[in-house]
Structure 1
Amino acid sequence: MNKEHILICQAFGQMLENSTTELEEKLTTNTRVAIARYFTQLPEEDRLNPSIMAIKIGHFCYSPGHENLKKWLLRIYNRLGIDDIQKVVKKTGDPGEEADAPTETNRILINEARDICQYLQNWATQQLNQTNQRNNPPVQGQSKPGNQNAAN
């Protein structure tokens, strides 16, 4: 697992965590829905893999029409790089430490990466649910499925 992949996923997650106002200014509703659809259509086994997710994020951001998204992601990634390198160094410890320290470090990084990828998936699902609710409001007086009494 590449630490840069974790940082790319983390930067994208931070981008999506920004306030609604900033998100509205930088990401149109159509772009947010496109991101959400893209993430939810990924194969199940790829969704929690930070290496694959980082590549997929890159493909999305570098595709035509997403130039602003790419710039915003790179700005956040570059800012993260400075802070998070220090966090990674603290987690990995001094190279002279015990031989089994890398195993613990890898476990911590794998868990952190999985959590970031899980956040991205949850965000995508939530975005699609909100979009579906806005596009398909319940009709007043319409009965819910399963509550209809069928006459025999």
Structure 2
Amino acid sequence: MSESSESSSSWHSHDNAEVAKDLEPKRLTTMKEVTSQDSLDFEAAVLAASPRLRGRKLTAALAFVAGTGFTLFGYDQGVMSALLTAKQEIGCLIGALSNLWIGDRLGRRKTIMLGGVVMTIGAILQTTSFSYSQLVVARIITGLGNGLNVRTNASKLLVSVAHLQTNF
């Protein structure tokens, strides 16, 4: 057993020495001297020297890299643009409070439709804004519509008219 392990370790050290020798840069005078065989030899040497991730280790490594990327992406959007996001929350507060009066006057269906129209107008204004102040106003308008929709519970609308629905 010890003989085979010694021979395998000496084989690996000999193999690694060849790989390292193959990785040494070649002196080329022109681009014409670079052949496809050189690139294939380099790729084979890199693959031979690189560690292998398979199975659960590969899954864990990919999940770690992807999770870190998504966390940083979400953190950047949430924190760096917090001032712009807060403007929509202000509009949402105003829209939800104004729903006390608007919801009584218009009813649930029309309030939800009005909220959708206001949000659509706000989204169009956000898309076509040319300055930061115009974008802030558009975010507040979108928040107003969102406040109307959030405060008007659509599931209650469906339950309240359930007896009026027919079977198809």
TM bucket normalised to smaller:
under 0.3
Structure number with the higher helix fraction is 2
The one of the two structures with greater contact order (alpha-carbon pairs below 8 A, sep at least 6) is: 1
